[in-house]
Amino acid sequence: MHSHIFVAGTFDGLHAGHRFLLARAFQEAKKVTIGLTSDLFVQKFKIFNLQFSMKISNFKLKIRGYEERKKCLQQWLQMRPCEERFTIIPIDDPYEPASSIAQLDALVVTAQNKVRGGQINELRRGRGLPPLTLIEVPLVAAEDGKPISSTRLRNGEIDQDGTLVMPESMRADLGKPIGKVIKRWIPGQARSDNRMIITVGDIVTKTLLDAGKTPFLAIIDGKVGRQPFDETLKRIQLQKVKPLRFKSGPGYISREAMKAIRDCFLHSSFSILHSVILIDGEEDLLVLPAIVYAPIGARIYYGQPGEGLVEVAVTEAKKQSALALLSKFLS
């Protein structure tokens, strides 16, 4: 373990990436000095640089002030067993005071600022100080596999834990039925249709089961109108299929749920009720990956508030439309 480590950052929003970085610093050293960028630093090295690179003179970057960021940082640290092992200091320069503090023996870096860590060591050598051990900490990925960042957080793409947030522009698109609206399900037609069926939603799944049509894949969340509803799960249990449980929604699509849906269609034998995915959260947005991954010719049914059941006949065109909507979560 190192005796004294230095870690620096703006820590705006204190997201999961920040928390992982700080936790690693405390794992590696007995004492941690946290260099928190000052308002002057933000103005000089973040806002000015972006104005210059983007050629926008009135560009504004909505970064919280130093005191607010420091308060959030202190509150998080007080919830951990850090005791008196840390000190928070303001920094006005990318290289200071890491290049000047003689007592330091390590520096936390990421792939984004590892080069600067080497430059800090060059400055230390020029001053007769020993170089710091560079401890590289990997970036934490969001739900879409891309790194969590304060920029993405400010843009409303993700929350502090890296879960994807549904863009406001999508709400109108998703409010429209993707397929044909069915006001009333006809049991006779259900039994005569042997194409693969996928259901998304508790009422939809129960409706088809009651009508004598067993889906290949059922995606439910155990709720109707956000109130607990166990009738569908009871009905499914009669089929002796153990539900797969994943988190997803509301307002985002998890990678785990997407992978589970994709994996369901990798099996060559399309048996009756092959899988049930039980979502902790909200299942409605999973219609999109269901369309993307289902084979051509399959039928997907989901509920549309105030409309009824929606039937989506999976075609290449429908796949492309669903993929276009899904990509807005993953862009």
Reported as a single tens digit per residue, the pLDDT across 38-85 is 999 998 887 545 444 434 444 455 789 999 999 999 999 988 887 779
Bigger pLDDT: 212 or 200?
A: 200
Does 201 share its domain with 316?
Answer: yes
Q: Quickly list DSSP for 102-119.
A: TT--EEEE-TTTHHHHHH
Examine the fold and report which residue of 90, 123, 154 is the final residue of a domain before the chain moves on.
154
Alpha-carbon distance of 271 to 322, in angstroms, equals 25
The pLDDT value recorded for residue 185 is: 62
Classify the phi-psi angles of 201: left when phi > 0, otherwise alpha if psi is within -120 to 50, otherwise beta: left
**β-strand partners of 2:** 29
Q: Is 128 helix (H, G, I), strand (E, B) or coil?
A: coil
Is 159 among the domain residues? no
Is 223 among the domain residues? yes
Contact 268, 239 (CB under 8 A): no
Residue 134 has pLDDT above 90, yes or no: yes
Contact 73, 80 (CB under 8 A): no
- Main-chain phi, psi angles of 280, to 5 degrees: -90, 100
Range of the domain at 175: 168-330
CATH at 141: 3.40.50.620
Contact 279, 220 (CB under 8 A): yes
Does 118 share its domain with 179?
Answer: no
Is 239 among the domain residues? yes
Does 224 share its domain with 130?
Answer: no
The pLDDT value recorded for residue 255 is: 81
Does 150 share its domain with 172?
Answer: no
Does 205 share its domain with 290?
Answer: yes
The pLDDT tens digits of the residues spanning 79-98 come to 888 777 999 999 999 999 99
Does 192 share its domain with 235?
Answer: yes
The pLDDT value recorded for residue 28 is: 95
Does 216 share its domain with 86?
Answer: no
Residue 120 has pLDDT above 90, yes or no: yes
The pLDDT tens digits of the residues spanning 278-330 come to 999 889 899 999 999 999 999 999 988 777 889 999 999 999 999 888 877 65
Residue 121 has pLDDT above 80, yes or no: yes
Which of 49, 235, 259 shows the shortest CA–CA distance to 145? 259
> Residues 6 or more apart from 263 whose CB is under 8 A from it?
none
Is 74 among the domain residues? yes
Does 176 share its domain with 283?
Answer: yes
Does 113 share its domain with 194?
Answer: no
Q: Quickly list DSSP for 164-212.
A: B---HHHHHHHTS-SSEEESS--HHHHHH--S-EEEESHHHHHHHHHTT
Does 63 share its domain with 184?
Answer: no
The pLDDT value recorded for residue 267 is: 63
The pLDDT value recorded for residue 147 is: 93
Range 146-152 average pLDDT: 90
Bigger pLDDT: 186 or 27?
A: 27
Is 162 among the domain residues? no
Residue 245: pLDDT band by 50, 70, 90 thresholds? very high
The pLDDT value recorded for residue 261 is: 93
The pLDDT tens digits of the residues spanning 152-203 come to 888 877 889 887 776 666 666 677 888 888 876 655 554 445 678 999 999 9
Does 93 share its domain with 174?
Answer: no
Which of 112, 189, 197 shows the shortest CA–CA distance to 149? 112
The pLDDT value recorded for residue 56 is: 40
Q: Going edge to edge, which strands form the sheet with 106-109?
A: 86-91, 29-37, 2-9, 106-109, 133-136
Is 160 among the domain residues? no
Examine the fold and report which residue of 154, 184, 204 is the final residue of a domain before the chain moves on.
154
The pLDDT value recorded for residue 53 is: 41
The pLDDT tens digits of the residues spanning 226-244 come to 789 999 988 888 777 889 9
Examine the fold and report which residue of 120, 154, 188 is the final residue of a domain before the chain moves on.
154
* Threshold 0.75, pTM exceeds: no
Is 264 among the domain residues? yes
Domains held by the chain: number: 2
Is 213 among the domain residues? yes
Residue 103: pLDDT band by 50, 70, 90 thresholds? very high
Does 83 share its domain with 177?
Answer: no
